[in-house]
Structures are given as C-alpha cells and as structure tokens.
Structure 1
Amino acid sequence: MKNHNHILFSIQIVFIFSFMACSEPASEENTLYISIAPDDYPTLSFQDFTVEEMIRLETTEDNLMGMDLRVKFSENFIAVMDENKTDKLHLFDRKGSYLSAIAQVGEGPGTIRSLRDFEFGKGEEVLVLSPIADKANVYKISKDGNLSEAFELAYSANSFIRLEGGGFLFQGGYNLPFVTHRVIQTDAEGNIQHRYLENDYENVMLPMMERNFFPSDKGVFMLEIFNPNFYLYKADSLTQVLHADFGTYDLPSNFWEVDLMDSFGEINENGFATFKGVFQQGNLMVIDIVAQKGRSMSKHILFKKDQNIYKLKADRDDDMVFFYPIGINKKEQVLFLTYRSILEKHAQEYPEIFSLDGLPEGDFDYPVILHVALKENL
C-alpha cells in the first residue's frame, strides 16, 4: 500500500517584546511600505506562472519529512532540515538524489547536542549551529558525515548566515541575560565584531525556530517573528528597509501591556500576521507573509517586480502548490516547495500548467521543488 508522508503545518509561536531598534535610523524615503489589505495589490492566479523545472527530492523511509522544511543550496548540493524534528540534516545532490543524513543530534560520538540552523561553507562542507544555554557551537561536517568543531561562540544563537567576507551574522532572540543584542556579526573564527538591535526584554524567552537571514544580491535581509519591519545588512550596517501594515492582523495596541498569555490568546482569536521569508534577486523580490487566526492559516505572498507589486493569496488547505516559497534563482525564477500528491491534484485540474512528467509514483509521497517564472506581461 502506498504510504503518503503526513504533511505537517505549524507556525512556531514565541512571545517577544516588540521594542524595535536599529543600528542606523531608517529614513522614510529608503523604507518600503507594504500592506496586506484585501484590495491592496493585483491578485495573481495560476495562469500568471510558468513551471520551468521540477526537482524531485528522493524519499525513502529514512528521510520522511513534512512541509515545514528549511532548504538551502550550494553549487552541487541541496540541504534540508525538517523544522518540526531538527534531529538531522538531509543532503541531496542538485538533481534531487538522496545522499545521506548528517548532523545527527544525540549524546554519542559523532553527534551534536542540538541543531538549529545550517549553512554551506566555502568548500561546500556544511556548517551547523548547535546552541546550548548561553553558548553556541558551530561545527563543520563533510558530505561524508565527518564532524569537527569550527568554533565556540559566547552567544546564545538561534540562526546564522555565512557572509561573503568570511564572517557570520547570528540572531539570538530576546532571552536576557544571555542575549543583550538580537543580532551580532563575527569574524570567521567567531569573534564578535559588531552588535545590533539592543534587547530590552527582561523576561524568560523560549527559543524560536525560525529562519531569520535571507541572502540576496543586495545584501542579507533579516526578519523576526511578530516584527512588522525587516532589515538589510550591508557593509557592517543593519538598516530597516521595510515596514508592513498588517491591517486587521496587526498586534493590538495593548498587546505588550497585559499578561503575555492573555495577549497571545487575544491575537490568536483575532488573528495575527508575521513574516516567514523574503527573497530577492535582480528586479524581483518575494515577501512571504503568514496570517493565522485560530486554527486557520493563510499566506499573502507579495511579488515586487520592478516598481509593481502583485499578491498571491493561498489558504493552508487550498491551492497549496504555491504555498511555500523557498528562494529565487539567478534566472529570477521563484522556487516553491510542494509535494507530488499536491501536484497530482492540480495536474488534473490545470494540465496546461502542471505536469507529472519525470515525477514517478513511489512507496512514499515526496517533496518537489518547482522553479516558477512570472509571465513576462506582468
């Protein structure tokens, strides 16, 4: 019997104190303002996209994964972490053939204590972030699984990114006294060079499982859950470049003035929105926004092409083939993550857009990475 992998959906909820600080004041003329009102931008449909390429991620009983996947690319490899498990990192080649599981979490030799994030290094070894209490370790792992410590960092980091100059950015969240600044920059050996976004939150903070850094040809974008602003790191500066008006999904004005548990119950009942990702290449930017109300989850995915902005609206349980953007390639094609079972459904309804060619049936449902181009007339 065919065993379909159970597709998991979640949004990692944390409670944070929304005190916004920036290394440099943002000027209004340099800040992009967006909204997610019902009639804010022209709405895209399937007919506005062309699927240029599909990459099947080979799946066996050893690497079953859900839909909340963190996916990163090197020239020759694709690395994938299931954000609902974070017990190992799966390595594929660029054609989607499965290579191995690395960065195993455990207590024995050759394992790491925790896995929160990963990056490709210069030699295409994989760098993994493993925080414990008020410190974090960065390890190097070869494609064959050989593990060595790169450095220990005196900072409780939740996510990181390798910079082209050889250093790193780390994000630590709101957990005082371990985190006095939400973002730090280090050199290649983990020595702290700069600190950004001072942390004034004094209560105990749960760790968050979110991707904070997104590379682009403009610099590195940084976002945080519940923060309606995101930032651009460039030339040792972290500057606010976008502010979102989430409308009815904005946090209530008294959210941070009452008990946090009461506040969370209120926003969950009334609905709230937060950034999930931002991707940019050339003249195209994609902003991934999650809106949640009770158990209902939807997406407002904004496409900024030149000076025009378009919106793709998708509910969690409907039209999910374009629900999870994971990047933009150098051809300015948007990469979406979906599953074969979802494509099969849409191929029946939209055969002129979606095809199952090259996507064989198997014992398990499996992820598929779509390379999607916007129609030129947009």
Structure 2
Amino acid sequence: MNKPKPILLSIELLLIFSMVACTNPETDEKIVNISIAPDDYPTLSYQDFTVEEMIRLETTEENLMGMDLRVKFSENLMAVMDENKANKLHLFDRRGSYLNAIAEVGEGPGTIRSLRDFEFGKTEEVLVLSPIEDKAKIFKFSKDGNFSEAFELAYSADSFIRLEGGGFLFQGGYNLPFVTHRVVRTDAEGKIQHRYLENDYENVMLPMMERNFFPSDKGVFMLEIFNPNIYLHKADSLTKVLHADFGTYDLPANFWDVDLMDSFGEMNENGFATFKGVFQQENLMVIDIVVQKGRSMSKHILFKRDKDIYKLKADRDDDMVFFYPIGINKKEQVLFLTYRSILEKHAHEFPETFSTDGLPKKGLDYPVILHVRLNEQL
C-alpha cells in the first residue's frame, strides 16, 4: 500500500481534516473555553496596537515567496519555508539579511526526497523532516547547506518539534495503517517512547501540510486542523487545555461518516472554522482561527491577556497587515508577517499606527515581520 502524495496546505484552500480526540482525563476547571460568536469579546482596532519594530526579509529573484510562510527562529537566525512550495528552506539573520537556501527537494546529489517541517537544533544547525512512505528521516543541515542523516524514524510523520529536555514530538495525522497514534514522543535518536491520541479513523485521509506544534514557556502546544481542542505537552503528558465553540462554523454532523470529498462541498458552502496557530509567552496568548466560506477567508485572532480576551477580526483581502501572526517574543510583542506593499497601503490610511520609514522602496516586493505591542490601557 503506497502512501498518498501530500496536499500542500494553502491559506487559499484548507483541504485538511482531523477529528476530535483526547488523551488523558481532564477536569473542566483546567480547560479554557472560547468561542467566536460575534459579541463574545471586545473587538480590537488598529489603534489598540503599537508597531515597535519592522524587520524586512531581503528578497531577490532566488527567494521569492508567497504569503503562506512557516517561520521559525533561533538566537541568530530565521528559517522560512513557503508552505505552498515546500521545496527548500531560506535562511536569514535576525535583521532580515538573506543568507542562502538549504534543504532543496529533488532527486539528484545534494538534495532530499521531501521537505515537510524543520526545527533549529541546539547549535543552530537546522533539523529537517523528510517523510517517505511509512517512515521519516531527520536530516541535520549546517548553515552553509552541508547535511547528513541524523536518524530514521519508524513513523510516518508530517510535523515535529525538538523538546528542550531532549527528544522530539512528531505528528502523523490519520493515515492508517501507517499511523496508529497521531502523536508520538521520541528520544534524541528517534526511538519512540510515548504514544498519544490513538488513531481510529478508518476512511481515506490525505496527508497534511500543517504546523501542529507551538513552543511556549509553559510547554509545547499541539493543535490539529478541524479539531476544536488545543493540547499542551508537558512532562510526558498531552493534556487538553483549550476548547473552542465554533458555533455555526462547526463541522457538519455527518462529516466523519461520509467520504472526505463528499462532505467538503457542504462544509465549504456553510462555512467552517479551524485553528491555524497558538502562541503564548508569560501572560499573553494569541489564538489564530481561520474561517472560510466559499471563496471568502477571514480571521478571528484572539488575544488572551491574563483573564481578559480580545478579538481582532481580519479579512484576507482588506486587513492582511494583521492577518498572519507567527509568534510572540520574550517582550510579549506579537509578530505578524505582511508584505511591504500591504504595509504601504495601510500607512496611507492609518499613519498613526503604520509607517514604511526605513523600508527600501526599490526592487521586488518583500515580506516584513512586524513586532507589535497590545496597548496596556485596554
């Protein structure tokens, strides 16, 4: 039995599916409940934010990328993958200067067979996940592109994260019989030590291109597309810590009982919501929720500060400057990814919040990472 070829997750088309499941018993008191009902939380405007810093990603003909970028950071570097291509990684320094591309996908010498996810290692080498059939390989890349195989994993993984205490978490999706548990924990050499979220989904499920793991100072958060729960991995346990009520954007009642493609048309017509990301640092948590209905794409980005929750609503076409959150730094600044052309438009309309001062005007359009502070007076 051959494993189906992966479908790349695009913000334009969310053909990704998962199902609700838990691992360990929880109590309701430990679970944060949220919703995306219209009047549940105060709605934020641009005036509620302050842009503290702008980092442009130097762009040339060699590293042109779209909007669906997976960005991860080390102390001195940024690694960026275009999720719609997933054919190489681009390395930048933390000021945005372009260094080079590594981990190119191909069939010849110096290439790897597939690229699904990446992580920085302890010494800023880049670890790359390359799944093939019912196994996955982890390659170790130096900054200049030299690489070697770190280990082979007896698990069909789609994403992973390196744990600070040693070892890794891997997520494998719903592709039976290769994946009997959707999440596993391994040691540093890839030996499976713990298994979580038993997979009992028997219909055809396509492999995913999604980011499942998000580090924080409380542990590692794990989410799955179309699962209304967010989990926290800590001390070898995977526990549900957040549940979302998507209301009218919940999955159709028969979603898990019919063929994947048969149910997608109804779901897309009625609209559906799903998690895209979750970021947390100290007392601030940002929960990125995508809503799609037909060709319309919007966001409900929730900001949870202590016990207060605020909502930023953004449309893909109108408000893309605050459409792609990619992290929170140690200063509790939220990082948003946008492009110079989009920022320039908003600088004309909202000069009190946005500016393009210091950003080059000539040459190709390029990504910009905004470091944004939620104003304290809220």
**Which TM-score bucket, shorter chain as reference?**
over 0.9
Equivalent in the alignment of 1:26: 26
Q: SS at 1:152's partner residue?
A: strand
Q: SS at 1:55's partner residue?
A: strand
Cα deviation for residue 165 of structure 1 reads 1.3
1-structure distance, mates of 2:127, 2:17: 28
2-structure distance, mates of 1:173, 1:77: 29
Q: Would you say the 8 A contact 2:176–2:202 is kept in 1?
A: yes
Alignment of 1:255-274 (within 5 A): 255-274=255-274
AA matched with 2:239: T
Cα deviation for residue 261 of structure 1 reads 2.2
Q: SS at 1:345's partner residue?
A: helix
More deviation in 258-267 or 311-320?
Answer: 258-267
Q: SS at 1:277's partner residue?
A: strand
2-structure distance, mates of 1:71, 1:373: 19
Q: Would you say the 8 A contact 1:19–1:200 is kept in 2?
A: no
AA matched with 1:147: F
2-structure distance, mates of 1:11, 1:171: 21
Equivalent in the alignment of 2:336: 336
Cα deviation for residue 156 of structure 1 reads 0.4
Equivalent in the alignment of 1:78: 78
CA shift digits 1:33-84 (9 cap, x unpaired):
0000010100000000000000000000100000000000000000000000
Equivalent in the alignment of 1:295: 295
Q: Could you say if the C-alpha distance between residues 311 and 120 of structure 1 is closer, same or farther in structure 2, counting changes exceeding 3 Å?
A: same
Q: SS at 1:252's partner residue?
A: coil
Equivalent in the alignment of 2:275: 275
CA RMSD of superposed structures (Å): 1.0
Q: Determine whether 1:252 maps to 2:252.
A: yes
More deviation in 261-270 or 213-222?
Answer: 261-270
Q: Would you say the 8 A contact 1:10–1:68 is kept in 2?
A: no
Q: Would you say the 8 A contact 1:12–1:210 is kept in 2?
A: no
Alignment of 1:217-366 (within 5 A): 217-366=217-366
AA matched with 2:186: T
Provide runs of 4+ in structure 1 moved above 4 Å.
none
2-structure distance, mates of 1:226, 1:19: 8
1-structure distance, mates of 2:184, 2:201: 17
> Any gaps of 5 or more consecutive residues in structure 2?
1-9
Q: SS at 1:29's partner residue?
A: helix
Q: SS at 2:321's partner residue?
A: helix
Equivalent in the alignment of 1:13: 15
Equivalent in the alignment of 1:94: 94
Q: SS at 1:112's partner residue?
A: coil
Q: Would you say the 8 A contact 1:35–1:244 is kept in 2?
A: yes
Q: Would you say the 8 A contact 2:20–2:228 is kept in 1?
A: no
2-structure distance, mates of 1:255, 1:153: 32
CA shift digits 1:252-287 (9 cap, x unpaired):
222222333221111100000000000000000000
CA shift digits 1:286-325 (9 cap, x unpaired):
0000000011000000000011000000011011100000
Aligned residues: 369
Cα deviation for residue 12 of structure 1 reads 3.5
Cα deviation for residue 19 of structure 1 reads 4.5
1-structure distance, mates of 2:258, 2:125: 47
Equivalent in the alignment of 2:3: none
Equivalent in the alignment of 1:5: none
2-structure distance, mates of 1:201, 1:247: 24
Q: Would you say the 8 A contact 1:51–1:373 is kept in 2?
A: yes
Q: Give the structure-1-normalised TM-score.
A: 0.96
1-structure distance, mates of 2:151, 2:13: 31
2-structure distance, mates of 1:9, 1:194: 32
> Any gaps of 5 or more consecutive residues in structure 1?
1-7
More deviation in 243-252 or 211-220?
Answer: 243-252
